[in-house]
Amino acid sequence: MHAVVFDLDGTLIDSAPDIHRVAVQVLAEEGLAPLDLPRVRSFIGNGLPVLVGRLLAAQGLAPDPARQSRMTARFEALYLDAHALTRPYPGAPEALAALAEAGHALGLCTNKPEAPARAALAAIGLAGRFAAVTGGDTLAARKPDPAPLRHTLTQLGRPAGVFVGDSEVDAETARAAGCPFLLFTGGYRKSAPGDIPAAARFDRFDDLPGLVARIAAGAA
């Protein structure tokens, strides 16, 4: 059976409301103006340092590495306990259960730092579903570099894998790693679904186990 590796934010969970809440607090502590939820949601996907850099750029500020580093550390500390508004997408827990029952090894590959990723999974009851978790700070490289996805597959010990994500970053990661990509269209993508290369696209998690089975059968 295949490994099935998932992105986290915008794929398995809608975490944008909590990320927005922490962003507003971190900005306020720096004496900066708040940003609305859609704007902050558009910054998600390339890792926490990039998100914080985008928060600062949205304020019209010149790059300030020291300030960005300070805000990134503060953001990560606050976010460890910021899960009150985070929810799994409808059907995602059930799809994970079905995939595990079918014998697939499940992993997570996210640009969120590993500790907050594990905390988010624990908060919504999904921590036990994944045999491997790779965060944005687990390796020196982050997605779309293929190294984190390849590392996750190695940890799972499976020769082949499918990557499930919601964004352009995830599609490029899968392509670079040579993995089929399944696009969840309900997440944080910035392009139209048809503009993102994918083996298949889905908007209901009920459809995911069948899509994985079809890819696994084609590779057999």
Judgement on whether residues 8 and 27 belong to the same structural domain of the protein: no
Same domain, 103 and 38: no
Cα 105 → chain centroid: 18
Choosing from 35, 57, 79, the residue where a domain stops is: 79
- On whether both 64 and 23 belong to a single domain, the answer is yes
Residue identified by tokens 């590495």 is: 65
pLDDT bucket at 20, cuts 50 / 70 / 90? very high
Instruction: Say if residue 109's pLDDT is above 60.
Output: yes
Contact 104, 212 (CB under 8 A): yes
**CATH number, residue 33:** 1.10.150
Cα–Cα distance between 170 and 179 in angstroms, integer? 11
The total number of structural domains that make up the chain: 2
Distance between CA 195 and CA 180 in Å, rounded?
16
Q: Which domain holds residue 47?
A: 16-79
In angstroms, the CA 62 to CA 57 distance is 7
* Catalytic residue flag (residue 7): yes
Indicate if 46 and 130 belong to the same structural domain: no
Residues 60 and 103 in one domain: no
* pLDDT above 90: percentage of residues in the chain: 94
What mean pLDDT do residues 47-55 have?
Answer: 95
d(CA 31, CA 139): 33
Does 190 lie in the same domain as 124? yes
Query: One of 7, 14, 18, 137 is an active-site residue; which one?
Result: 7
Instruction: Tell me what the mean pLDDT of segment 2-22 comes to.
Output: 97
At residue 219, does pLDDT exceed 80? Answer: no
Give whole-number Cα distances, 199 to 70, 107, 179, 181, 183, in Å: 40, 19, 10, 5, 8
SS (H, E, C) the chain: CCEEEECCECCCEECHHHHHHHHHHHHHHCCCCCCCHHHHHCCCCCCHHHHHHHHHHHCCCCCCHHHHHHHHHHHHHHHCCCCCCCEECCCHHHHHHHHHHCCCEEEEECCCCHHHHHHHHHHCCCHHHCCEEECCCCCCCCCCCCHHHHHHHHHHCCCCEEEEECCHHHHHHHHHHCCCEEEECCCCCCCCHHHCCCCEEECCHHHHHHHHHHHHHHHC
Shared-domain flag, residues 9 and 34: no
Residue 19 pLDDT class (50, 70, 90 cuts): very high
Q: Give yes or no: residues 144 and 110 share one domain.
A: yes
Residues 93 and 192 in one domain: yes
The answer on pLDDT for 218 being more than 90 is no
Question: What is residue 1's predicted lDDT score, i.e. its pLDDT?
Answer: 63
* Res. 84: pLDDT tops 80: yes
Which CATH number covers residue 197?
3.40.50.1000
pLDDT at 163: 98
pLDDT (tens digit per residue) in 168-182:
999 999 999 999 999
pLDDT > 70 in the chain, percent: 99
Q: Which of 33, 51, 79 is the last residue of a domain?
A: 79
Average pLDDT of the segment spanning 100-113: 96
Q: What predicted TM-score, i.e. pTM, was given to this entire model?
A: 0.94
pLDDT bucket at 217, cuts 50 / 70 / 90: confident
Range 172-195 average pLDDT:
97
Torsion angle (degrees, nearest 10) of CA 94, 183, 111, 128: 20
36 and 92: one domain? no
pLDDT confidence bin for 159, thresholds 50/70/90: confident
